[in-house]
Structure 1
Amino acid sequence: MSYTFDFYSVTQNLRPLLEGLIVTLELTLVANAIGLTLGFVVALLSMSRLAVFRVPAMLFVEFFRCTPAVVQIIWFFYCVPILFNVFLGSITMAVLALGLNLTAFNAEAYRAAIQAVPREQMDAGIALGLNPLQRVLYIVLPTALRNSVPVLMTNGIGIFQQSALVALVAVPDLMYAGKSLATETYRPIETFTVVAFIYFAISFPISQIVGYFERRREAAAS
C-alpha cells in the first residue's frame, strides 16, 4: 500500500470537530431526556386495559422499532413540513426524530421492567391506601427504573451513535463536521479515523458502566 498517512491537517483543524461534537452531545442529551420521560408513559399506555390507549401506543412502538432510523429522520425533515405545514429548525427536527425513536425502545425496556415488579409490592401499596397514580410514582417507577438502567443506558449509547445520521440532512453535528473537514483537507481516512475515535472515546466508558450495573444486578439476583 503506497498511501501515506498524514494526520497533521486534521489535528490542526480540530475546532470544527469539537463544535460538531457539542451539537452531537446536545442532541443526545435532549433525545435521552425525551426518551426516558415519554418512554415510561408509552410503556404504561401499552399495558393499559383500554384499547383506545393500548393500540396507539403499541403501533407507535412498533413503527419506530421496525423502520430504519435514517428513514425516520428524513421523513421528519421533508414530510412533516409538507404534510402539517410545520417548519422547525434542523436541530429541533433532529431532536424530535431521535427522541421519539429512543422513546419506542425505552418503552419496551420499561414495559419488561414493569412486568417484573413483584405483585407483593403492589399489594402493599394498596394496603397502605395509595391510589393508582401514587402506586405508579412511588412503587412502579422507582423499581422499573432501577431494573431497566442497563438497557436504558445501552439505548442512550445507541442514540448517541445514531445521531451521526442527522448529517444526511445537514445538521452540523460531529459527522457533518467530519465530512466537511475531509472534503477541505482531502484526507478522508485520517478525518474519519479521528471521528471514529471520538465516538469510541465517549461510548466505551459508558459501555463499561453498563457492564458494571449488569454485573451488580446479576450478583443481587443470585
Structure 2
Amino acid sequence: MDYSFDFASVFRNFGPLWQGLWVTVQLTLAANIVGLTLGFGLALLVMSRWAVVRIPVMLFIEFFRCTPAIIQIVWFFYCVPMLFDVFLGSMTMGIMALGLNLAAFNAEAYRASIQAVPREQLDAGVALGLNPLQRIAYIVLPTAVRNSIPVLLTNGIGTFQQSALVAIVAVQDLMYQGKTLATQTYRPIETFTIIALIYFAVSFPVSQIVGSLERRREVLAS
C-alpha cells in the first residue's frame, strides 16, 4: 500500500470536530432525558391491566425496538413534515427520533426492574396509607431506577453512538463535521480514525462504569 499518513492535516483543522462533538453531546443528553422519563411512563402503561392502554403502548415499544434507528430518523425528518405539516429544526427532530427510540428500550429495562420490586415493599406502602401515585413515586421508581442503572447507562451510551446517524439528515454533529473535513482535506482514513477514537474515548469509560456496577450488584446479591 503506497499511502502516506498525515494526521497533522486533521489536527490543524480540529475546530469543527470539537464543535461537532459538542452537538453530539447535546443531542445525546437531550435524547437521554426523553428516554429516561418517557421510558418509565411507558413501562407503567405497558403493565396496565387494561388492554386498551397496554396494547398500543406495547406496539409503540416493539415498533421502535424492531426497526432500524436510521429508518426512524429519516422518517421523522421527511415524513412528519409531509404528513402533519409540522416543521421543526433538525436538532429537535434528531432529539425526538433518538429519544423515542431510547425510550422504547428503556421501557423494557424499567419493566423488568418494576416486576422485580418485592411485593412486601408494595404491601408496606399500602399499610402506610400511600395512594397508588405515592407508591410509584416513593417505592417503585427509586427501586426500579436503582436496579436498571447498568442497562440505562448501556442504552445511553448506545444512543451516543447511534447519534452519528443524524449526519445523513444534515445535523452538524461529530460525524457530519468529520465527513466534511475528510472531503476538504482528502484524508478520510486519518479523519475517520480520529473520529472513531473520539467515540471510543467517550464510550469506554462509561462501559467500565457499567461493568463495575454489574459486578457490585452481583456481590451484593450473593
Match status 1:59 vs 2:59: yes
Query: Mind listing any 5+ residue stretches in structure 2 that lack a counterpart?
Result: none
* TM-aligned CA deviation for residue 56 of structure 1: 1.2
Q: Percent identity?
A: 75
1:184 pairs with 2:184: yes
TM-score, length of structure 2 as denominator length:
0.99
Structure 2 partner of 1:120: 120
1:37 CA displacement: 0.2
Q: CA-to-partner distance for each residue in 1:14-35, whole Å, 9 max, x for gaps?
A: 1000000000000000000000
* Structure 2 residue aligned with 1:91: 91
User: CA offset at residue 53 of structure 1?
Assistant: 1.3
1:165 aligned partner: 165
Q: For 1:91 and 1:18, how far apart are their aligned partners in 2?
A: 17
CA separation in 2, counterparts of 1:127 and 1:50?
25
Distance between the aligned counterparts of 1:116 and 1:90, measured in 2? 39
Relative to the length of structure 1, the TM-score reads 0.99
Deviations 1:102-149 (A, max 9, x none): 000000000000000001100110111100000000000000000000
Written as runs of structure 1 = structure 2, the 5 A alignment for 1:1-222 is 1-222=1-222
Structure 1 unmatched runs, 5+? none
The whole-number CA distance in structure 1 between the counterparts of 2:52 and 2:125 is 27
In structure 1, distance between residues paired with 2:124 and 2:162: 42
- Mapped to 1, the partners of 2:160 and 2:52 lie a distance apart of 33
Aligned-residue offset at 1:200: 0.3
Aligned Cα root-mean-square deviation (Å): 0.4
Instruction: Tell me how many residue pairs correspond in the alignment.
Output: 222
**2:28 and 2:188 mapped to 1: Cα distance?**
25
Shift of 1:4: 1.2
SS state of the match for residue 29, structure 1? helix
Amino acid at match of 2:177: A
